Chain A
Amino acid sequence: DVKVTQSSRYLVKRTGEKVFLECVQDMDHENMFWYRQDPGLGLRLIYFSYDVKMKEKGDIPEGYSVSREKKERFSLILESASTNQTSMYLCASSSSGTNLNNQPQHFGDGTRLSIL
C-alpha cells in the first residue's frame, strides 16, 4: 500500500512565523500535491510538483511556497504565517502511469495548523 506521511498531525504557530509542513511518500510517485481543506470549500490546490525540483502553482498559491529536493519529499512553506492560513493541510501523491488521468491520488492524514 502507498504510504503518504505528514510530519505533524497538529501544529500551533504564531503570526509572522515561517512554518514548514513536510510530506514523504514511499511509492516512488512522480507527482505530489499540497491542498488545504476548509469547511464548505472542499479541497483547494495550493501547489504541485511533477518531478524533482519542479513545481507549479495551484489555485491558491499566495503566501505559500514549496520545495522538492528529493523525489519522495515535498515541503510546504508558509513564509510569514497569518491567521487566515489556519486550516487542514493535506498532502497527496500519484503515479503518472501510462495514462496520467487514470491515476488516483493517495493522501496523507493531514496536518491541522492553527495560527494564533
Chain B
Amino acid sequence: AQSVTQLGSHVSVSEGALVLLRCNYSSSVPPYLFWYVQYPNQGLQLLLKYTTGATLVKGINGFEAEFKKSETSFHLTKPSAHMSDAAEYFCAVIRSGGYQKVTFGTGTKLQVIP
C-alpha cells in the first residue's frame, strides 16, 4: 500500500535560509506525489505535484521538489525562506485502486524566525 512519511513535525529556519522539508514514500508502483500547504485557519492548497517525466518539479511561491526513486524521497525545498512561508506542509501520495484516494503525511509545521 502506498504511504508517505514526513520527518520532523516541526522545522525552524531563519528568514533567508534554505527550507528543506523531508518526505519519503512507499509504493510498489510508480507513485503520484503531491505537496500541499496549509496556512493558519485555511484549507490545504496545492504547492506542486509529481506524476511522470521530469524529476525536478517546480511549484508556487518558489518551492520545488525532487523525485528520487533510488532514495524513495520527494523532499520539498526553497532556497530562501520568507516570513510568509510559515505554515504546515503535507506530503501526499495517490493510492492504487482508483477513486483518487490519497494518503497524507502527518504534516510538518514550518516556523520562520526573523
Measured CB to CB, the residues of A under 8 A from B are 4, 9, 31, 40-43, 45, 48, 50, 56, 58, 90, 92, 94, 96, 99-110
Contacts and interface: CB of A to CB of B under 8 A. Distances in A.
Interface string B65-99: 00000000000000000000000001000100011
Contacts of A43: 44, 90, 104
28 contacts: A4-B43, A9-B41, A31-B100, A40-B9, A40-B106, A42-B90, A42-B104, A42-B106, A43-B90, A48-B99, A56-B99, A90-B43, A90-B44, A92-B43, A92-B44, A94-B100, A100-B100, A101-B32, A102-B32, A102-B49, A105-B46, A105-B100, A106-B45, A106-B46, A107-B44, A108-B43, A109-B42, A110-B43
Given A107-B44, A110-B42, A50 B49 contact: no
Nearest to A90: B43
Interface of B: 9, 32, 34, 36, 41-46, 49, 51, 90, 94, 98-102, 104-107
B32 A48 contact: no
Contacts of A107: 36, 43-45
A22 to B, nearest CB: 15
The SS class assigned to the B binding surface is: loop
A104 B34 contact: yes
B45 A50 contact: no
A50 B99 contact: yes
